[in-house]
Amino acid sequence: MARTTSPAPALDPDASEVATVSEALVEERSAASSASREPDGRASGAPEREERPTADVLIDVRDLAKTFKIGFIGRKQVHAVRGVSFEVRRREIFGFLGPNGAGKTTTIKMLTGLIAPTSGEAYLFGERVPSPEARRRIGFLPENPYVYPYLTPREFVSLCGRLSGMGGSKLQRRTMEVLEQVKIAYAADRQVRRLSKGMLQRTGLAAALVSDPEMLILDEPMSGLDPVGRKEVRDLIFSEREQGRTIFFSTHILSDVESMCDRVTILREGKVVVSGSIRQLLRGEVLRTDITLANASEPLVAMLEQTGAKVSRHADVVVIEVEGDVRVRETLESALKGGAQVVEVTPRRETLEDLFLRRAL
């Protein structure tokens, strides 16, 4: 696989003057290098690292923190990220979650070298961030993939490919290939300013893919997409992983994460509150069992309510919610004895949404 990607340039489409891509990249680099650093590249104050990550750990984030100074004289501080650590391993699909303002984008910006950490350290492919060499190996979709408004998707994606060192007929072929992959080829020659938000998002994804990177870092890749678009991005992420790529993405859409990710980290107020494999996190015992009954008489329902079960009445069925799974058998026996028909018995385990609501809010 070629190792030739740099992130899609992030430019403001509303800007009256269109800056050049190289200017944007210079700005990013100078932002990344403006924080004080030790001679070995560590941000000052960051602890010296004892060992380098193993070859299978492609992202290694240790105690990363970012404090923004705000206000007229910078007296006020926002502690956006407060000591975040996690690892992403080769060929994983890794979900990075948290409510609005939890610090996801700030962490991703530090990871991709767009801003420097206040303290802590991050490694990509074992290289201390910021590392131009490591950055060439990632495809990056920023949270708001700002694209030159007067370029077409074909021109923009091809430009990103050229910035990654690609060229000639190979680049032309690859540009159309990725535009087709993200289903925007039909609008390849329309100006970006005429695209919808979802179409722009697809263009940004194509730019992240164009140079065939080893790892994708995607900040809210489903943002702005309709349900079909979201499914297409899910399928794309799976197929990219099948081809050997590692995918790290942030999202708010928990149902996607549950079905897609191998492991997750959930942030809250700049700190990690949950981290681990989806299988382990959601392996818990049955929280409750829902028993759906038809033809349940009122005396039967009242009797079940008296046992402490929660009852909800619907048009033609009654759902009895039994805590845990212990009383299920007794409830079923009473229901059958009382002449009701059992329509469904559903054990409920904790979902990622339950976990998120319990731990992240």
The residues that touch ligand ATP, with contacts defined as CB under 6 A, are 68, 70, 78, 80, 98, 100-106
106/331 with CB nearer ligand ATP:
106
203/251 with CB nearer ligand ATP:
251
114/293 with CB nearer ligand ATP:
114
Q: Residue 86 CB, nearest distance to ligand ATP (Å)?
A: 14
221: Cα separation from own chain's centroid: 7
Q: Residue 101 CB, nearest distance to ligand ATP (Å)?
A: 4
31/317 with CB nearer ligand ATP:
31
80/272 with CB nearer ligand ATP:
80
Q: Residue 79 CB, nearest distance to ligand ATP (Å)?
A: 8
Q: Residue 193 CB, nearest distance to ligand ATP (Å)?
A: 24
Q: Residue 116 CB, nearest distance to ligand ATP (Å)?
A: 12
100/169 with CB nearer ligand ATP:
100
> Which of helix, strand or coil describes residue 122?
strand
Q: Residue 275 CB, nearest distance to ligand ATP (Å)?
A: 16
